[in-house]
């Protein structure tokens, strides 16, 4: 079983850009939606992602917080394109910038399209209590806020959020 231990933060300024050593374009969609998860009808999100020249089918358990079960399977890109056409909600388009900071790899997701304007940084850890050096561009932690999950952004994109949701 795969376990993902991840912390997620809003990005407050562009200080990370100079340190980014790679960028990967991504398009992803979900076979299920947030309503199925919230109702308990499904216990995992099922994502299709094309990232660069590769594609994956991903299954992630529905627990809130920084620790979840995660399974990732490579699929042919042509099949991933067909699966994206079956997804519910909108597609999530983003550019993932890879930034090394404090001995860890940070992934800074710069969202495009319906989620333009949102920039979120994630760091994967070896254990839930692992200490890490938080960069100055990593602002408020949103690990436990479901509206920042990509699954939620597919159904309710950032550009449609109210002022209260953005606060």
Contacts of residue 82, defined as CB under 8 A and 6 or more positions apart, other chains included, come to none
> How many angstroms separate the CA atoms of 81 and 100, rounded?
31
> How many angstroms separate the CA atoms of 134 and 128, rounded?
15
Concerning whether 30 is annotated as a catalytic residue, the answer is: yes
Handedness of CA 126, 128, 130, 135 (dihedral sign): positive
Catalytic member of 30, 56, 149, 158: 30
Handedness of CA 32, 36, 37, 42 (dihedral sign): negative
Q: Which residue intervals of 23-76 are DSSP H helices?
A: 34-39
122: left (phi over 0), alpha (psi -120 to 50) or beta: beta
Give the Å distances, CA to CA, from 113 to 32, 87, 104, 159. 20, 17, 29, 9
Q: Mind telling me the catalytic residues? A: 30
């Amino acid at each position: 079983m795969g376990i993902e231990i991840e912390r997620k933060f809003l990005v407050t300024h562009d200080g990370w850009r100079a340190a980014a050593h790679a960028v990967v374009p991504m398009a992803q969609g979900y076979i299920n939606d947030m309503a199925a998860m919230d109702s308990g009808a499904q216990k995992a999100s099922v994502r299709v992602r094309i990232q660069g020249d590769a594609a994956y089918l991903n299954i992630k358990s529905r627990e809130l917080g920084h620790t979840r079960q995660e399974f990732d399977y490579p699929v042919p890109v042509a099949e991933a394109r067909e699966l994206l056409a079956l997804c519910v909600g909108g597609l999530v388009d983003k550019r993932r910038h890879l930034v090394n900071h404090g001995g860890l790899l940070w992934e800074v997701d710069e969202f495009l399209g319906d989620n333009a304007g949102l920039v979120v940084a994630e760091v994967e850890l070896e254990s839930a209590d692992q200490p890490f050096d938080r960069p100055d561009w990593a602002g408020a932690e949103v690990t436990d806020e479901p509206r920042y999950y990509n699954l939620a952004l597919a159904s309710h994109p950032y550009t449609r959020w109210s002022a209260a949701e953005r606060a």
